[in-house]
Amino acid sequence: MTAQSFAPDSGRIKARFDALKKEGRSGLVTFITAGDPNYDTGLEILKGLPKAGADLIEIGMPFTDPMADGPAIQAAGLRALAGGQTLARTLDMVGEFRADNQDTPVILMGYYNPIYSYGVERFLKEARDAGVDGLIVVDLPPEEDAELCIPSAKAGVNFIRLTTPTTVGERLPVVLNEYTSGFVYYVSILGITGTKSATDAQINEAMSRLRAHTDLPIAVGFGIKTPDHAKAVADVADAAVVGSAIVDKIKENLDENGQATPGLVDAVLSYVSDLAQGVRG
């Protein structure tokens, strides 16, 4: 299969990064878990993210064994699953979001098991139809992901690969091959989400290394918690990704029974607005 036989994607991710470049700034990628703390509240947050300043939106597909995620996102996934969230309902959320927003890129992030169980071809078709622009699958190394990355390319769904501080040398061209599209997600730490943070020097070194191997935009995530930190990352990358800190804001606004309080959505979107202002400098 050659690059020329790939189906065209939605164009939303490229259009957004082109627009950011024209504006002379980096972007903010916000992560939420689908259905956290429940479907309706999660959908209200999702719909409010673009106006709050999210340039791209990453949606976690709840899974019982999220090996790359720290306690915050693990708990979010369990809250969502307890509320009845499924992969089909996650695609429904994207479809409802697209009814009001045709411009903001949406990327689904998760693990292969639920997609495999759902059926790769069915999942990709329904994801594309719902308005999904890209896919991040954490637990498939590039040496083992042909059964998903090739169908994704055929379906026109961007296959966004992860790189880490240990993705170096001869392995970089393997990770950043012709099937990597949309953008590159740089995991800036060794470990799980929401824990430690990388230093500015470490991120700068990684950006230089990655830019020597790809012309795709590079988004940096894991460990970003404050507007100032988001700005520091945005100063050297094409986008800063914030996940666990947003999920923590949802948790902070649950009542003693784990239910959403009346101010939850506003509190989350206000925090995202602060992050966006940080990224915009």
Active site residue 69: yes
Q: Count the helices and strands in the chain (H runs, E runs).
A: 12, 9
Residue 202's H or E segment, with its range, is: helix 200-211
Closest CA to 87 of 67, 108, 102, 70: 108
- For every residue of 28-82, which 3-state class applies, written as one string? EEEEEECCCCCHHHHHHHHHHHHHHCCCEEEEECCCCCCCCCCHHHHHHHHHHHH
Catalytically annotated residue among 9, 36, 55, 58: 58
Catalytically annotated residue among 9, 69, 126, 133: 69
Adjacent-strand bridge partners of 107: 58, 134
The structure tokens 């940080």 sit at 278
Quick check: 78 and 32 in contact, CB under 8 A? Answer: no
Active site residue 252: no
- The residues that are catalytic are 58, 69
